Amino acid sequence: MSNFNKKQVKSKDVKGIFKRLCRYIFSYWYLFILAVIFTLLSNQLSLLGPKFSGDAIDALAAAGGVNFDVVWTNTAKMLMCYLASAVMSYVLSVTMIFMSQKIVYTMRRQLFEKLTSLPVGYFDTHPTGDIISHISYDIDTINSTLSHDLVQIMSSVYIVVGSIVFMWNISKPLVSVFLITVPASVIFTRYRAKKVRPLFSKRSKKLGELNGYAEEMLSGCRSIQAYSREEEIGRRFNERNTDSMNAYYIADYYGCMIGPTVSFINNLSISLVMMLGGIMYMLSQNGIAVVGSLFFITLGGVAQFVQYSRKFAGPISEFANIFSELQSAFSAAERVFRILDEHPETPDSDDAVSLDNVEGEVKFREVEFGYTPDKTILKGIDFTAAPGKSIAIVGPTGAGKTTIINLLMRFYDISKGEITVDGRESREYTRKSLREAYTMVLQDTWLFKGTIFENIAYGKEGATIEEVKAAAKAARIDSYIEGLPDGYDSVLTDDGVNISKGQRQLITIARAMISNSQMLILDEATSNVDSRTEIKIQEAMGELMRGRTCFIIAHRLSTIQNADLILVIKDGKIAEQGTHQELLDSKGFYSTLYNSQFS
């Protein structure tokens, strides 16, 4: 079994998940120790209350009459204990909330850092909404358990143990009642746990699917309305919503059965205690001889035992009631740990070197690649991109054009063959330096929430306002920016939805222009601008491309007529290659594509 599989098996084991959560808790051991101290003090004071209550009852039923001094003294002690216990419980809750927030912060940071280290292929196969569900819902579920349920569990353990000690000292025969009821509660809880836990895992999965679908549909709301598909999309959402609701209902339904059942068993044990205690008290009062003093008990003793039995049964019932929350937390933790256990991108080799002083020569030698082992996308791709030259890649949809770009950036590693940059195999370079050698302008623009200046300056660390303005001018977007009330300080909303798509693309082109990378990748970079703007962009792009090795993916063949080399990709192979005129003269597939656009 591989190391990956071992981790996956461990993450699905409840004990393994619990141990991993404990590591996070113990990383803040000082807060945990403080919480334990407050737990001990709070619950010890709470356990003393019934003792003083029982002593006060015995003073009421004293043979010589009511001893009011003893009654008032024990009542005052009881009240003081309960008040101090409440204060300690408050401090305990605050401590646990503070600790849980630190743990959640650490988990979210680790999860996000892990996601940024995963290969692109992971995001190609996992819906964005499901990933966001891990960061938000799953982490929040774990936080709820750490801040509330963990306090309850620690208190319950101490209360149960302390109650048994006090009850044992009061009456050993009465304790025998719990020898029957407690094992019954434990056996039933363990049995239901095995049945219920998969239901909570399914619940988390269905919620992730619902979030993924909602995110996908909301991002495409314009297309949905344009095609009047609101009803169909609503129907599909309702199907997933129903699946999620049913998963929640089934998990909670079978989970909530545990609490009432355990409560019934505990109430039954208290009833038996009261019956047996009453019989023992009457025997003790009537002086009926029993084996020694084993069965002797006072009225106060009975009252104390009943109160302790309630304290003993209460935590067991509460644990059964929070059982569903624990199951949900373990399922959420399993999903989080599953991501943390994912393999990041293949690390750079120990002898990997930095790609410095880039010249820009790129060679593909008999390259083969497929996203899955059973389907090869690229088959024997072979070409050379000389330094400073432009390589255009054209072909029908699905031919493998974007795949070539993914291999250039090492988002994926090739299956066979070789890709060299400046005479060295690309895998011999560090990924960071290899990717920094390229600048990408994609068809799908990406802008973040921030000023226009920040979005353009993203292409060069420490860029000045003069450099940003020069890049914007070259991209033919400067007049638009300067016409805005706040100019370059204008804030773009998420992904720049408050400006047009063409303007977003121009800003990403300006971002590329400010970069000093020696190699350039243009993936349909002018697809979202009108023909008039495209002419201006082509002039700017000519300036941008001068002296750089450029890889251009284009469906508008008018944008690549001046390329030094055009590769025609068809069925994963290079069907034709040459200059624009050479390919037209050959009367091949390229000529057919070109004539279909301009005939």
* Whether 521 contacts 529, CB under 8 Å: no
pTM of the predicted protein model: 0.66
* 364 bridge partner residues: 383, 419
Of 21, 304, 233, residue with least CA distance to 145: 21
Q: In 10 A of CB 245, how many CB atoms? A: 14
* DSSP-derived secondary structure for 353-375: B---S----EEEEEEEE-SBTTB
At residue 573, the 3 state secondary structure works out as strand
Residue type, 503: Q
CA-wise closest residue to 496 among 478, 508, 486, 487? 508
- Cβ neighbours of residue 42 under 8 Å, at least 6 residues apart? 85, 88, 89, 92, 155
* Residue 69, both tokens: 């001094």
Q: How many CB atoms lie within 10 A of CB 597?
A: 10
Give Cβ neighbours of residue 321 (< 8 Å, ≥ 6 apart): 258, 259, 263
| CA 432 to each of CA 179, 350, 406, 409, 437: distance values in angstroms, whole numbers, following the listed order | 65, 14, 15, 10, 9
Relative to beta strand 424-425, strand 573-578 is unpaired
The DSSP secondary-structure symbol of 347 reads P
HSE value, Cβ hemisphere, 13 Å, CA-based, for 110:
15
Q: What integer pLDDT is reported at residue 328 of this predicted model?
A: 77
Q: Which of 146, 108, 115, 133 is nearest to 205 (CA)?
A: 133
Cα distances from 416 to residues 309, 367, 378, 407, 570, in angstroms, run: 72, 6, 10, 12, 19
189 vs 66, 132, 155, 236, 324, CA distance in Å?
Answer: 46, 33, 19, 37, 11
**What is the structure's pLDDT at 9?**
35
pLDDT at residue number 498: 66
Q: Which of 434, 562, 459 is nearest to 509 (CA)?
A: 459
In 3D, which of 435, 483, 475 has the Cα closest to residue 456?
475
- Report pLDDT for 321: 62
At 266 the three-state DSSP class reads helix
Cross-strand pairs, 576 = 568
Calpha distance 452→529 (Å, rounded): 19
Nearest alpha carbon to residue 377 among 120, 589, 571, 124? 571
Tell me the backbone φ, ψ of residue 382, rounded to 5 degrees: -145, 115
Name the strands in the sheet holding 438-441, side by side, starting at the edge strand that comes first in the sequence. Answer: 438-441, 519-523, 549-553, 390-394, 565-570, 573-578
- Which token pair is 593? 């594509």
Residue 548 CB partners (closer than 8 Å, separation 6+): 360, 388, 517, 518, 519, 520
Element (H, E) at 201: helix 178-219
pLDDT in tens, the chain (599 residues): 333 333 443 444 777 888 888 888 888 888 888 888 888 888 788 777 777 777 777 776 655 566 677 778 888 888 888 898 888 888 888 888 888 888 888 888 989 888 888 888 888 778 777 788 788 878 888 887 777 777 777 777 777 787 788 778 877 788 777 777 777 777 777 777 777 777 877 777 787 778 777 777 776 676 676 667 778 788 888 888 888 888 878 887 777 777 677 777 777 877 777 777 777 777 776 655 444 456 667 777 777 777 777 777 767 666 666 766 777 788 888 888 888 888 888 888 888 888 888 888 999 999 999 888 888 888 888 999 999 888 989 888 778 888 888 899 888 888 898 999 998 898 889 988 888 888 888 777 778 888 888 888 888 888 888 888 888 888 778 888 888 888 888 888 766 566 777 788 788 888 888 887 889 888 876 655 566 666 666 766 777 777 888 898 877 777 788 888 999 988 888 888 888 888 888 888 888 887 876 65
| Cα atoms in the 13 Å half-sphere on the side-chain side of 429 | 24
What pLDDT is stored for residue 2 in this prediction? 35
CA 193 to chain centre: 25
354 phi-psi bin (left φ>0, alpha ψ -120 to 50, beta other)? beta
CA distances to 83, 84, 85, 242, 521 from 48, rounded to whole Å, are 12, 11, 10, 51, 75
Rounded CA-CA distance 109/165 in Å is 44
> Which amino acid would we find at residue 450?
G
* Surface-to-core class of residue 515, CB atoms within 10 Å of its CB (0-12 exposed, 13-18 middle, 19+ buried): buried
CB-based contacts of 297: which residues, under 8 Å, 6+ apart?
Answer: 170, 171, 174, 277, 280, 281, 284, 305
Amino acid 8: pLDDT? 40
